[in-house]
A and B are shown apart, each in its own frame.
Chain A
């Protein structure tokens, strides 16, 4: 048979495959190495900064000493505010898209716009929030303006997770309920939503992680450079963790002296995200076990 040297071809094939697989494996594990390097770097430098005082005291001495209490509280307010806004609307929107909307132009348009909103850069949300909430509606730099802006940013995430959660539910449940004479809303509320609930909650927690780390949208809508007191109303400014980190890392009064505070703040931020992720995973596992048991 007219073929190239058999053994050579075999060897080449095997060599190429081994080369590809080994290098791809190395690359994949180095992705994780990047994560480990970043996390351990910040943990190493931030660990000894974190103390009870650090998370419960006001910043002192031009933000080079003291704690980050107001920033933590500010971020909590913002997260709560944005979720209060984004969660109901997002879930309802997800229900509409997956359960109610008929296939056609409107549904396609809505889905396209939702995808589009998800792709809008966070700084553009900042601009929009500033011109609509701060200036036009005259909320000023306030928790209200910042929460609404962050809520808009979280909205596509909530919608998508709701949609995914609903999509995963087998149609037979819906048909079963409808066949018993239940209305569409009764079916959605009593059959579909309870089943989708675990995944919706998971999505909510993940978007909390996302929102708590966003900086650009709050730059011009709520974040205060330095404000050593807690807010009294939703029309007050607050400090926030990500903005605080940005400030003391780049433009504090004494950048070198506040490095320690910066590491500590970064660590607290990462912990927030980590906890959100772990919680989401744990919940997902817990609920899926429960479903199996039933």
Chain B
């Protein structure tokens, strides 16, 4: 009997452990589910403010507009109908506030009771008009033609450069500049962190004696423990003013400042992973090289480094992954301008910083909110593939390899 109970308990414990074991997988799947569900909502909607419509004169041949075309029309970057597939006449903009310049107060009515009729009248009389006004004024008997605003597509989301999530009348959700900004800052960070990190890893793994190593190693681990917000704060009060003075800029919050801070933050990852990789070089291989009269340094760069090349690559990629996902430090140091940067001395905005800065203001369930989740999806996808790459590289490393 007792034996039975024990066996039964064992089974229960085993299944409890199994459940815990699969917990992370469930969480990853849940993250994917929630992120993509919220993010996908962006692509089933038009970026038009709710309760508003856009109307044209009936004679106009144009039936549909993309959000970007729409915005450019109201920004007067597009001036003729020809540019959006219509006649070559120039576009006349009309917002509901403009009504007073066409009709008298009497005509509109003291309580705006005739406003709808006036708008209707104005649209039907002006062939090249594009009008933006509340839906309620386009009630029965409306003479104009309502324009269909196209949905945001995944393609335009990724390739458009303009990120104006709260713009009127149509918000712009183009994330190219954010993606490029993120990659810019991260790669610049690795460009400076990789050589330094690798040099340190080599020093720790191959050159330093154990006494020096025992001092350096915990200190470098400590560097990994400092919270990112403290790095951001340090960047803000030290590096940003320094860059401002050195390069004689108006603002010091630049891609460069972000890159330097991110580089410092990526260093411990690169150092630890590369050092571990270097340590896997078999002693026999190093001894063979030394026995042939190679110097210690020649042995390092001709045997140890090639042998651990894939591990070092994994470290670098992991470092990039950390840099791409880092939020607070970048948010505090880069100036957050949503434009494609051309030099490191310009402000730049990254995906994580955008989410952190804007999610608080975005109405839950609104388009802006969904767009930020879509950004989260992009971030997740990027880091997912980075993790996958690291996984593949390091599992390859364990098998036989060839320099």
Contacts and interface: CB of A to CB of B under 8 A. Distances in A.
Task: Consider the complex of A and B and state whether they touch directly, i.e. have CB atoms less than 8 Å apart.
Answer: yes
Interface stretch (B72-80, B111-119, B167-175, B199-207): B199-207
Interface stretch (A168-176, A245-253, A286-294): A245-253
A32 interface: yes
A131 B220 contact: no
A209 B225 contact: yes
Contact of B387 (A109, A115, A269): A115
Interface residues of A, number: 85
Contact of B21 (A27, A100, A136, A277): A100
Interface string B349-370: 0001001100110001000000
Contacts of A242: 227, 229-230, 328
B331 to A, nearest CB: 8
Contacts of A136: 34
Contacts of B301: 20
Given A101-B21, A250-B236, A127 B327 contact: no
A121 B324 contact: yes
A197 interface: no
Contacts, number: 258
Given A41-B238, A249-B236, A266-B233, A17 B376 contact: no
B35 to A, nearest CB: 6
Contact of B202 (A24, A219, A276): A24
B297 A28 contact: no
Contact of A128 (B17, B20, B34, B267): B34
Interface stretch (B5-13, B42-50, B131-139): B5-13
Contacts of A156: 24
Contact of A32 (B10, B216, B225): B216
A219 to B, nearest CB: 6
A23 B35 CA distance: 46
Given A132-B34, A250-B332, A215 B28 contact: no
A124 interface: yes
A110 interface: yes
A180 interface: no
A213 interface: yes
A219 B211 CA distance: 42
A110 to B, nearest CB: 6
Contacts of A1: none
Contact of B325 (A41, A116, A123, A246): A123
Contacts of A16: 295, 297-298
Nearest to A243: B229
B94 interface: no
Interface string A245-274: 110011000000001001000100110011
B14 A120 contact: no
A185 B9 CA distance: 9
A234 interface: no
A117 B228 CA distance: 19
A56 interface: no
A210 interface: yes
A120 B383 contact: yes
B325 to A, nearest CB: 3
B24 A213 contact: no
A185 B34 contact: no
B340 interface: no
Contacts of B332: 246, 249-250
A193 interface: no
Interface stretch (A57-65, A66-74, A76-84, A88-96): A88-96
B181 to A, nearest CB: 15
B25 interface: yes
B325 A122 contact: yes
Interface in A128-167: 128, 130-132, 135-136, 152, 155-156, 159
A110 B207 contact: no
Contacts of B295: 13-14, 16-17
Given A113-B28, A120-B31, A27 B199 contact: yes
A116 B295 CA distance: 41
Contact of A123 (B220, B226, B376, B391): B376
B291 interface: no
B30 A132 contact: yes
Nearest to B299: A17
A251 to B, nearest CB: 10
A179 interface: no
A225 B228 CA distance: 18
A42 B234 contact: yes
A117 B27 contact: yes
Contact of A97 (B21, B222, B226): B21
Contacts of B379: 121, 123-124
B391 A115 contact: yes
Contacts of B221: 277
Contacts of A17: 295-298
B372 to A, nearest CB: 7
Q: Which of B21, B200, B233, B267 has the most C-beta atoms of chain A within 10 angstroms of its own C-beta?
A: B21
Contacts of B307: none
A177 interface: no
B264 interface: yes
A24 B20 CA distance: 44
A35 B325 CA distance: 22
Given A216-B327, A242-B328, 15 more contacts: A21-B207, A27-B196, A28-B204, A38-B230, A92-B17, A92-B20, A93-B21, A215-B328, A216-B352, A242-B229, A262-B233, A269-B229, A269-B230, A270-B226, A274-B222
28 contacts: A17-B298, A28-B208, A28-B216, A29-B216, A92-B16, A97-B21, A100-B21, A112-B391, A113-B28, A116-B387, A117-B28, A120-B325, A124-B379, A127-B34, A127-B373, A128-B31, A132-B34, A155-B24, A185-B14, A213-B228, A214-B228, A215-B227, A242-B230, A245-B230, A246-B233, A246-B328, A249-B236, A266-B234
Interface of B: 6, 9-10, 13-14, 16-18, 20-25, 27-28, 30-31, 34-35, 38, 196, 199-200, 202-204, 207-208, 216, 218-223, 225-234, 236-238, 264, 267, 271, 295-298, 300-301, 318, 321, 324-328, 331-332, 352, 355-356, 359-360, 364, 372-373, 376, 379-380, 383-384, 386-388, 390-391
